[in-house]
A = this chain, B = another copy of it.
Amino acid sequence: MGIDRVELIREELKTKKVVYVHHLADKLYVSRSTIRRDLAQLEQEGLVRRFYGGAKLIEHPSNEIPFFMRKERNRAAKEIIAELATDLVTDNQFVALDTTSTVAYLPRYLKDKENLKILTNSAQLALDCLDQLHSARIFCTGGWMSSFSRGFIGETTRLRISEYRTDILFFSARSISLEEGVTDVNEEDAYLKQQMIRGTRKSVFLCDHTKFDEISYRLVCPVQDLDYLVTDQRPSDKWLHHLESAGVEVIFPE
């Protein structure tokens, strides 16, 4: 990859803050495909946030970016899932939430529920709930902070989770497969999810369509442990049948 060109784009970003694919392509005498690839690389580095037609400089780089990017990926799907999922919540319930980016969309849709209690190990989510759910009581586990999930991990966290019995748990993970069930890439997070599942009456797995038929290396739980699976598109008949026979209620639009 032409080091020069990417370097020039960096320079451009320093002064301009916002760059456009078509403009850079004209200026640097390369195709738009090439510019798009360059911008994808800069996004990967956490330097810019891309938008339709160009990219914008991220002013204050921080640990927040990887999480922010996960949150933005498949945004539409996650909104749909959040809206469907919150129908499962009733007033006065004790709700457990994990640190995933999908779950981060829930608070807004929980606004009209009264008198909830929330248990989470995500610092960011705890603050979001505090700001949006005025009638809720929010309990946060504490523990050592993970820059990956921007939440708490470790033995303290696990202990705190084990001390509570929640009515309903909303969680997500990287992947789900017929053979292995729910799997993820992060050892610590998987461990905490297991603890959360043990401590709740109903487990709801939030799962956009891209997560099906993928396998990550760390087992979280078998499909049988789930009570509900909420997704954004009708799963295949094979999956519907598999989930039904495992006793999982599947929720999807229409």
Chain A interface residues toward B at CB < 8 A:
1-4, 18, 46, 51-54, 56, 61-64, 108, 123-124, 126-127, 129-132, 134, 137-145, 147, 150, 152, 156-157, 160
Partner of A130, one of B2, B56, B147: B147
Could you name 16 residue pairs across A and B whose Cβ atoms are closer than 8 Å? A1-B51, A2-B53, A3-B18, A3-B56, A46-B108, A62-B130, A62-B131, A64-B131, A126-B145, A127-B127, A130-B145, A139-B142, A139-B145, A140-B143, A142-B143, A142-B152
Smallest distance from the beta carbon of A18 to chain B beta carbons, Å? 7
Residues of B within 8 A of A108 (CB): 46
In the complex, A2 Cα to B1 Cα: how many Å? 28
CB of A142 within 8 A of CB of B141, answer yes
In the bound complex, residues from chain B placing their C-beta under 8 Å from that of A130 are: 62-63, 145, 147, 150
Chain B residues with Cβ below 8 Å from A131 are 61-64
Which DSSP category, helix, strand, loop or mixed, fits chain A's interface? mixed
Q: Of A137, A145, A157, which is in contact with the most chain B CB atoms at under 10 Å from its CB?
A: A145
Instruction: Quickly give the copy total for this chain.
Output: 2
Lowest 10 CB-CB distances: which A-B pairs, in order? Answer: A142-B142, A62-B131, A3-B51, A138-B145, A123-B123, A141-B142, A140-B142, A63-B131, A130-B145, A123-B127
CA distance A124 to B130 in the complex (A): 11
Chain B residues positioned under 8 Å from A1 (CB to CB): 51-52
Q: Looking across the interface, which residue of chain B has its beta carbon closest to that of A146?
A: B130
User: How far is it, in angstroms, between the C-alpha of A118 and the C-alpha of B11 when the chains are bound?
Assistant: 35
CA distance A156 to B10 in the complex (A): 41
- Neighbouring B residues of A51 by C-beta, 8 Å: 1-3
Q: Select A139's contact among B18, B46, B52, B144, beta carbons within 8 Å.
A: B144
Contact across chains for B140 and A152 when beta carbons are under 8 A apart: yes
Other 16 A-B pairs with CB < 8 A, given A63-B131, A64-B131, A123-B123: A1-B52, A61-B131, A62-B130, A124-B127, A130-B145, A137-B144, A138-B144, A139-B142, A139-B143, A139-B144, A140-B140, A140-B152, A141-B142, A142-B143, A142-B156, A142-B157
